[in-house]
Amino acid sequence: MSSSPVLYVLNGPNLNLLGTREPDIYGRETLADVEALCRAAAEGAEVVFRQSNLEGELIDWLHEARDKADAVVLNPAGYGHTSVALHDAIKTLTIPLVECHLSNPAAREPFRHHSYVSPVAAGVVSGFGPFSYDLAVRAALRLARARAPRS
């Protein structure tokens, strides 16, 4: 790992609408607010913060992270419940990945109770609104710093 670890924070579909989409569930903070929170929680680590509504783009970024990142925080949003392809891309990683959700999927509709990401993630943080990202960033960086250097 370089002297300053690199953390990818990847966000799935509809998260570009944070602050306006179902604020009773997801809160009023915007994705820009979440990004600022992640950068502050990273305490000097380099943060690559991205959002896409496209499953393939998220997969491409996970492939990129294999060589360029020391850890990943992923909020797969709805793709967490549907994407075997995302699951398979995560399995190719040799760096820690922490799954992150603003809401608690287990306390919501039954179709949200299953995640294709959780079984291949180092851990899951959910249900704390934007603070879920703070916890996930800190956990991912702690796991990254405990590992051997990236080659």
Listed by start position, the domains of the chain span 6-146
Is 112 annotated as ligand-binding? yes
- Is the pLDDT assigned to residue 150 strictly greater than 90? no
Q: Please report the pLDDT score of residue 1 as a whole number.
A: 46
Known binder of ligand: residue 4? no
Dump pLDDT digits (tens) for 91-120: 999 999 999 998 776 656 665 656 888 889
Q: Which residue among 26, 79, 116, 133 is the active-site one?
A: 26
Q: Which of 87, 101, 116, 133 does the annotation list as catalytic?
A: 101
Residue 7 has pLDDT above 80, yes or no: yes
- 75 labeled binding residue: yes
Distances, alpha carbon 124 to alpha carbons 23, 101, 150, in Å:
22, 8, 23
Catalytic residue check, 116: no
Q: What mean pLDDT do residues 82-90 have?
A: 94
- Per-residue pLDDT, averaged over 130-151, amounts to 89
DSSP-assigned letters across all residues of 127-140:
SSTTHHHHHHHHHH
- 6-146 CATH pick, 3.40.640.10, 3.40.50.720, 3.40.50.9100, 3.40.50.2300: 3.40.50.9100
Question: How is residue 47 written in tokens?
Answer: 């943060």
AA letter at 34: V
